[in-house]
Amino acid sequence: MFQNDSRVLVTGGVGFLGSHLCDRLIESGRDVLCVDNFYTGNKANVAGLLNHPRFELMRHDVTFPLYVEVDRIFNLACPASPVHYQSDPVQTTKTSVHGAINMLGLAKRVHARILQASTSEVYGDPEIHPQVEGYWGRVNPVGIRSCYDEGKRCAETLFFDYWRQHQLEIKVMRIFNTYGPRMHPNDGRVVSNFIVQALRGEAITIYGDGTQTRSFCYVDDLVEGMLRLMDSPSEFTGPVNIGNPGEFTMLQLAETVLKLVGGTSKIVFQPLP
């Protein structure tokens, strides 16, 4: 249990991961201030919390300063899937960079501990597998994914400079692929693609021969990791990778989805784009 832990701010709190985090924080007795600009988040994700006396929802864009009194900050605000973060790349970078500056400024003012939801994408197109936290990554600074990758890298830099320069209590977690209820059905990622195709009775499309592997972490495990990291000793900053070490082939994933959804979908193979 955190020490001064009663008032918790979750930015991006109506999104996929943020809403599950809000559920867990409310269950464990905290006061939760959920801040979101509803860019990709859906209010329905927190519908069950709206009437809770310890839950407050505020429409706010983290690229603008925020003045509230809180003890802990989970900074999750940022579109997470390529289809979303590439639709307004300038805003994506602003959300990561200005958002980090504003939330770190808030943490400094109110002496709050702050956790950054970073990403495995900070490793870019990596030369080593699996990627350990000490690996610096291989990121293209000028490509169409850079708004997300470089935005998150710059946010990490800001977190560590606030730690070194202002002795802020920071935690940086690098999140790997996560799945579970409330993920966006049209986010273009493989888990949602396969499930939506199976539910519609359409063919499940595998690009390549299906032997390529990925790892997927269930959202409850991810949230547990997030809470444990926030609660870790003050000298522990991370960055720390959080995900599932077990890998699955795309064919195994497609077969699992088919088994669980049922229906008549066939698996079809297409050339890699």
Ligand X SMILES: NC(=O)c1ccc[n+]([C@@H]2O[C@H](COP(=O)([O-])OP(=O)(O)OC[C@H]3O[C@@H](n4cnc5c(N)ncnc54)[C@H](O)[C@@H]3O)[C@@H](O)[C@H]2O)c1
Stretch that binds ligand X, among 47-55, 106-114, 174-182, 201-209 (CB under 6 A): 174-182
Beta carbon of residue 269, minimum distance to ligand X (angstroms, whole number): 25
Of the candidates 7, 9, 18, 153, which one interacts with ligand X according to CB under 6 A?
18
What is the C-alpha to C-alpha distance for residues 107 and 81, in angstroms, rounded to an integer?
Answer: 27
Q: Does 16 bind ligand X (CB under 6 A)?
A: yes
Element spanning 205, H or E: strand 204-207
Beta carbon of residue 271, minimum distance to ligand X (angstroms, whole number): 26
Of the candidates 76, 170, 195, 229, which one interacts with ligand X according to CB under 6 A?
76
Please state, in angstroms and as integers, the Cα–Cα distance from residue 141 to each residue in 124, 131, 146, 150, following that order: 10, 19, 5, 7
Beta carbon of residue 246, minimum distance to ligand X (angstroms, whole number): 16
Stretch that binds ligand X, among 36-44, 48-56, 106-114, 226-234 (CB under 6 A): 36-44
State residue 193 phi and psi, 5-degree precision: -55, -50
Q: Per the residue annotation, which of 148, 162, 179, 207 is the catalytic one? A: 148
Beta carbon of residue 8, minimum distance to ligand X (angstroms, whole number): 16
Closer of 25 and 267 to ligand X (Cβ): 25
Q: How many residues bind ligand X (CB under 6 A)?
A: 29
CA angle 48, 70, 50 (to 5 degrees): 15
- Total residue count of the chain as it appears in this document: 273
Q: Is 148 a catalytic residue?
A: yes
Of the candidates 178, 197, 241, 265, which one interacts with ligand X according to CB under 6 A?
178
Residue 241 bridge partners (DSSP): 174
Stretch that binds ligand X, among 12-20, 203-211, 227-235, 256-264 (CB under 6 A): 12-20
What is the C-alpha to C-alpha distance for residues 222 and 213, in angstroms, rounded to an integer?
Answer: 20
Beta carbon of residue 9, minimum distance to ligand X (angstroms, whole number): 11
Element spanning 270, H or E: strand 267-270
Q: Taking Cα atoms as reference points, which of 10, 122, 5, 106 lies closest to residue 56?
A: 10
Q: Does 229 bind ligand X (CB under 6 A)?
A: no
Of the candidates 23, 31, 36, 149, which one interacts with ligand X according to CB under 6 A?
36
Q: Does 218 bind ligand X (CB under 6 A)?
A: no
Q: Taking Cα atoms as reference points, which of 215, 106, 119, 234 lies closest to residue 171?
A: 234
Long-range Cβ contacts of 133-138 (<8 Å, 24+ apart): 133/174, 133/238, 133/239, 133/240, 133/241
Q: Does 193 bind ligand X (CB under 6 A)?
A: no
Q: What is the largest CA-CA distance in the chain?
A: 59
Residues belonging to the active site: 148
Residues that bind ligand X (CB under 6 A): 11-12, 14-18, 36-41, 61-63, 76-80, 84, 95, 99, 117, 119, 175, 177-178
